[in-house]
């Protein structure tokens, strides 16, 4: 379950930034997660509930923005939606060689007091 290590890293980032801002409470953490990032959102939410106990984020809300997968098809030269790491172009049925969106995992914002 790599989601626990992801949550631990996110909490570390959030607490470091909160301390740098002289805050004592983290109210919310906002993430962007690509649909192709290989992260199980239910597991991530569960891990967050467990890992945030006795931290500055113990009552924090976790807000997740999903980023759809997109790729460039060199055959028809179009950007198309991709649902898997290796997708097939919905326009010409050829393999998509360049996925350019959907693998992201980033902390978008942290709300603190």
Q: What is the pLDDT of residues 38-85, one digit of tens each?
A: 999 999 999 999 999 999 999 999 999 999 999 999 999 999 998 877
DSSP annotation of 96 reads P
Instruction: Give the domain ranges of the chain.
Output: 3-112
CA distance 105 to 108: 9
Mean pLDDT over the full length of the chain: 93
CATH no. of 3-112: 3.30.2320.80
Single pTM value for the model: 0.87
Residue 1 has pLDDT above 70, yes or no: no
Residue-wise DSSP of 11-80: HHHHHHHHHHTT-S-EEEEEEEEETTS---HHHHHHHHHHHTTTSTTTTPEEEEEEE--EEEETTTTEEE
Closest CA to 85 of 46, 40, 34: 34
């Amino acid at each position: 379950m790599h989601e626990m290590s992801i949550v631990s890293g996110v909490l570390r980032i959030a607490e470091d930034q909160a301390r740098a801002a002289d805050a004592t409470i983290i109210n919310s953490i906002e993430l962007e997660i690509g649909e192709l990032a290989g992260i199980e959102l239910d597991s991530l939410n569960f891990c967050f509930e467990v890992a945030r106990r006795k931290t500055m984020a113990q009552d924090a809300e976790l807000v997740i923005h999903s980023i759809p997968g997109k790729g460039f098809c060199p055959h028809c030269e179009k950007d198309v939606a991709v649902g898997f790491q290796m997708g097939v172009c919905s326009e010409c049925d050829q393999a998509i060689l360049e996925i350019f969106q959907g693998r992201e995992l980033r902390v978008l914002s942290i709300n603190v007091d």
